[in-house]
Amino acid sequence: MRFYTDTPPGHDLTYDDVFLMPNRSAVASRFDVDLATSDGTGATIPVVVANMTAVAGRRMAETMARRGGLVVLPQDVDTAALRDIVAWVKSRHPVWDTPLVLTPNDAVADALNLLPKRAHGAVVIVDEDERPVGVVDEAACAGVDRFTRLSDVADPDVLTMPLTAAPREVFHQLHGRNVHIALGVDEEGRLAGVLTEVSALRAELYRPALDDKGRLRVAAAIGVNGDVSAKTTALLDAEVDILVVDTAHGHQEKMITALKAVRAAVDAAGRGRPATPSAEPAPALDRQSSPGAGQDGGPSLAGSGVTVVAGNVVTAEGTRDLVEAGADVVKVGVGPGAMCTTRMMTGVGRPQFSAVLECARAARELGARVWADGGVRHPRDVALALAAGASSVMVGSWFAGTYESPGDLLRDEQGHPYKESFGMASKRAVTARTRADSAFDRARKALFEEGISTSRMRLNPAAPSVEDLLDAICSGVRSACTYTGATTLEEFHDKAVVGVQSASGFAEGAPLPTGW
């Protein structure tokens, strides 16, 4: 990346301060762009869900990995529970979504409780042999007594297809029909998955992030306190693919000590990977015979090596120290998150674009990569972070208001659906994290909380799923690459030309409000 004037400004910049210049391009279509990352994580899109309790859970992990991204499970999750989550995610099908299942004798109330858990909007009714006999959606439950049996409201007209059916075939079977969901069944006719018309389309456009056994990938966070080596060993035993050593201030001795312990445990288990990431895109596979293969080729299998990520820092010095201590990837960002009050409380932090730019250069000199963590509010911000040299961009609160986030779906005074989000250094998060401490220690730690304890994140009725947001992000990044003349993210970083703009320049690029 270079600046349009060839001279970097004398002050730090955030995403709103910069823009991408269009270049002469030979890229004919946005589908010619490969969004696979170069950091060795096996991700096929450059999006990572941050390890926030209100955002990262099993449903989010399954959905993101199926579309090629990653989810970092929070460090506060009990090890036994985390092992169960990882096993569950890795048992999911790489193409077919997990169905919501009830029996004919269950009540409409049971279906209404389950429907908000999945974006596909349907509960499948199965018999005693787990074979599908009907489908129930929200419309079928409208105006019906909540104690009505599902056998009385289920639509018996079901479309079943073998799990080996290509997503394109599923799309064609659904297109133009009243049935909006296809049910994947195994060789015995038992329910194993579901696909809607749009999810079948997405299965042709995205490649899942798979491990060397063809299972969905998942990451997990580790704190810098306690027995870090034991926690690392437990996560390795649980078959976590990416370990994220996480603390708000990553450039400190406690982090370096913890990171060295993680690296030692990974290497002792024989799970390390080559230090220099490969920038080569995944080889193309036959889409008709490879589950999850998409427009860009086949699934990316990054091997059995575990990637070690550490952060957060905002300087080249901090980046170099973490890489030398054992990090393959460094997380960059202090204070830009939507739920974070660090900058207002302490004055500490740095505008995110400049932080990513400097840290990415330092990491690449050592054969490592960075993740841009925080400050992302629009698809353009993701593109700009990648242009600055990040291999992936971490997203938190933006994804909290989706069907896939862990929280319960609530409704405000006007009936609008929302979910609650909160910062991981807030009173709410600290209280949960210190539950086992003494009353005195909990009270003492409560004096140093930073972050918002509750925020309502509304579900957008037009885009209620995290997959809808991924479509917007990936579409924006693909288009940015075509404007730049790049077909890979590494080429995008090399060719990107960035200019600096005023606040009015940023406002000029924003669409007018609806109804203006």
Evaluate whether 242 touches 262 at the Cβ level (below 8 Å): no
Residues 6+ apart with CB under 8 A from 481: 27, 30, 33, 487, 488, 489, 491, 492
Evaluate whether 467 touches 202 at the Cβ level (below 8 Å): yes
Of 476, 312, 509, 494, nearest to 382 (Cα)?
476
CA end-to-end span of the chain: 37
DSSP assignment string, 151-170: GGT-B---EEEETTS-HHHH
- 20 forms beta bridges with 498
Residue 311's CB: how many other CB atoms inside 10 A?
A: 30
Residues 6+ apart with CB under 8 A from 341: 423, 450, 451, 452
Return d(Cα 47, Cα 394) in angstroms, integer. 6
Of 160, 83, 164, 61, nearest to 405 (Cα)?
61
Give the Cα-Cα-Cα angle 313, 490, 205 (nearest 5 degrees): 105
Catalogue the active-site residues.
340
- 495 forms beta bridges with none
- 418 forms beta bridges with 410, 458
Q: Which two tokens stand for residue 420?
A: 């609650």
Distances from the Cα of 247 to the Cαs of 213, 252, 318, in angstroms? 31, 10, 13
